[in-house]
Structure 1
Amino acid sequence: MIFFDKFKKHFEKKSDFFLLVSFILLVLALVNPSIPVNQSIYNYILIADISQSMNTEDMKINQKTVSRLDYTKHIMSRLVEDFPCGTKVSIGMFAGVSVSATYSPIEVCENFSNINTTISKLDWRVTWSGNTRIRESVINLARLIRSFPESAQVVYFTDGEEAPKLHVFNTRDLDQFQGGNDWLFVGIGSDEGAPIPKYDNKNQLIGYWSNDSFALQPGIAQISESNIGVRDNKVASGATDRYMSKLDSEYLEKLAKEIGGFYVDGQSYRAVRKEMKKQPPAWKAPDQFYLQPILCFLALLFFIARFISKTNITSLIRKIT
């Protein structure tokens, strides 16, 4: 009996200790202490190639054949849906040698509707150049990102088609280029190839681009690099003289490697999302991790433990005695 009395007194003191700890934790929760942490900031610029080769219809959405540009818009919309709140996104367009951003990166949840509206309105008719100089564009893209108030990671959707074709006179040396680390190039298009449709300004089909439209003019390169192989306005008269456009994944892989980025085939949305998760955050910012929720939770556990334990142990002692 003496043993059980001592045990009971010891347990009652222990229960009071639980209550004391619970009280101390609640007081600390009111103070709301914090610890310094680095918060990862995820900002993206999603760039759509809007040159005319992106009108080529060799992609599929739900078994329906669509253009490369429409497929790009579809992927972009899915990405915006999957981004967690706090992520910031800008939508960009590429044509010629330039990349243009519609706005600086904005938060996805607050601006979800506006971002999707921007994506839906991407159109080849806003192009400012008939040529496609992807290699040249990376320099202008790096310059564009430096103008943002916050840095952003690049996801570049393109078929990899340089028009005019690259040769010794118009191939930019990127050995000294800095700024392309961890950029992601997403290949849009098929390996089989398809003709590039030619539309008028009302988006009505008037024919297909001919092989002659992509003829090189190396002699001009010696005079003015900006005029190399300017695409002419010829339209193919039949199926045999149509220019067949294909996804140039080999070129995009090489380009990505040159600037420190990487490449993924855009046929699979999951593959694109997986590669994007490998991209490091655009930057890290100092932040504070507040401990109030954790302290309140611990206080609740000690408070519950005090009453549950006291009830069970007291009942057990009574049964034994």
Structure 2
Amino acid sequence: MSAASAVLALLRRRNWAIVAAVPLLAAAVWMPDVMFQRDVFRTIVTFDITQSMDVEDAADIDGGAAPVSRLDFARAAMREALGRLPCGSKIGWSIFTGQNTLLLVPPIEVCANFDALLASLDGIDGSMRWTNWSRVAEGGVFAAVRTATSVGQGASVLFLTDGQEAPPVLPDDRRVRDIPRGEVKGWLIGVGGDQPAPIPKTDRNGRRIGYWRADEVIQVPAQSRAGGAIESHEELSELRGQYLSSVAGQIGFAYRRLRTPRDLIAAMTDERYALRDRVPTRLNWMPVALAFVLLVWRFMPSVLRSKASA
């Protein structure tokens, strides 16, 4: 048999596809990552863990009938958003109460550290509180901006809160305007319902021991309210969206209300906050796909013939 006839016979039998698939599969195993320029995101996510975030007025993302706490809802939405971030993005966790934020996890790459980020996210709860009072604008947001500045890397801030402050900030209090505008980009994400609800009271171990009463919290003096005749109910909590939107505007942040995980995903992947960076990208799926096509092409006719003769 001539060489041409041998080649023709090999092509006719399609055995060459098996030979070609072997180096393709080997290449998929040993193929190094390739560096590509792409949009990534670097964000420090700050969770408000004050007691008003324990109010159960949010829908259960997992489909449960009973409402869940605002903090549980925020964490569940973050779990979904985390999986939507492109590889090369970096996320860090911090918590807020009182007038300060505490950085728990500095920004780390999401794909290589996905399980670690999820595990640390699940550990964020009210038992980490070091005080029961809070200053969202004057303290929390300012501290979050300061933390992002110290971390560097172009990190933005995403602050999840219901906007409730204790003791309350008076309507004419101008201290929130001391926050530097435009120093760091970021979002204020509003969490909570529109109807005022009782705030659970917990002990130092995080166990619920009832609800806060009107005589146990500082109320806004009636004369400082608009019209001077509205009774204050700071023992109840609802989303202070208008306040958060105002604070966001003062410091150059954006504001968005968290209704579904899609709202959080949209905020975290907003192209205005994207950074261009060289990111290692795995392309080993390409030789695997090509080897699969070759093997299907090689064996499919015999499969069809066997079915026809059965």
- Normalising by the residue count of structure 1, what TM-score does the alignment of the two structures yield? 0.65
The residue aligned with 1:132 is: 134
Structure 2: distance between partners of 1:284 and 1:175:
31
Contact 1:87/1:107 (8 A) holds in 2:
yes
The residue aligned with 1:43 is: 42
The residue aligned with 2:162 is: 159
Query: What's the offset of the Cα at 1:272?
Result: 2.6
The residue aligned with 1:86 is: 88
Query: What's the offset of the Cα at 1:216?
Result: 4.5
Q: Percent identity?
A: 31
Provide closer, same or farther for how the CA distance between residues 288 and 123 of structure 1 changes in structure 2, counting only shifts above 3 A.
closer
Structure 2: distance between partners of 1:185 and 1:242:
21
The residue aligned with 1:12 is: none
Deviation per residue, 1:166-221 (Å, 9 max, x gap): 12785414266134554111111100121111122343321101112332588xxx
Q: Give unpaired runs (5+ residues) of structure 1.
A: 1-36, 219-240, 290-321
Contact 1:44/1:152 (8 A) holds in 2:
yes
Structure with higher Rg: it is 1
Provide closer, same or farther for how the CA distance between residues 165 and 279 of structure 1 changes in structure 2, counting only shifts above 3 A.
farther
Query: What's the offset of the Cα at 1:130?
Result: 1.4
Structure 1: distance between partners of 2:279 and 2:125:
43
Q: Give unpaired runs (5+ residues) of structure 2.
A: 1-35, 222-232, 281-310
Provide closer, same or farther for how the CA distance between residues 169 and 191 of structure 1 changes in structure 2, counting only shifts above 3 A.
closer
Q: Does 1:208 align with 2:211?
A: yes
Q: Does 1:265 align with 2:264?
A: no
Contact 1:142/1:179 (8 A) holds in 2:
no
Give the total of aligned pairs. Answer: 235
1:121 counterpart (120, 123, 129): 123
1:256 counterpart (248, 265, 268): 248
> Superposition pairs for residues 103-252 of structure 1, below 5 Å?
103-136=105-138, 137-167=140-170, 171-174=174-177, 177-179=180-182, 182-216=185-219, 243-252=235-244
Structure 1: distance between partners of 2:254 and 2:234:
32
Aligned with 1:92: secondary structure?
strand
Provide closer, same or farther for how the CA distance between residues 173 and 93 of structure 1 changes in structure 2, counting only shifts above 3 A.
closer
Deviation per residue, 1:276-311 (Å, 9 max, x gap): 3335246445x599xxxxxxxxxxxxxxxxxxxxxx
Deviation per residue, 1:245-275 (Å, 9 max, x gap): 1111111111111111111111122123223
Query: What's the offset of the Cα at 1:149?
Result: 4.4
Provide closer, same or farther for how the CA distance between residues 144 and 77 of structure 1 changes in structure 2, counting only shifts above 3 A.
same
1:69 counterpart (57, 64, 71): 71
Q: What letter matches 2:89 in structure 1? A: T
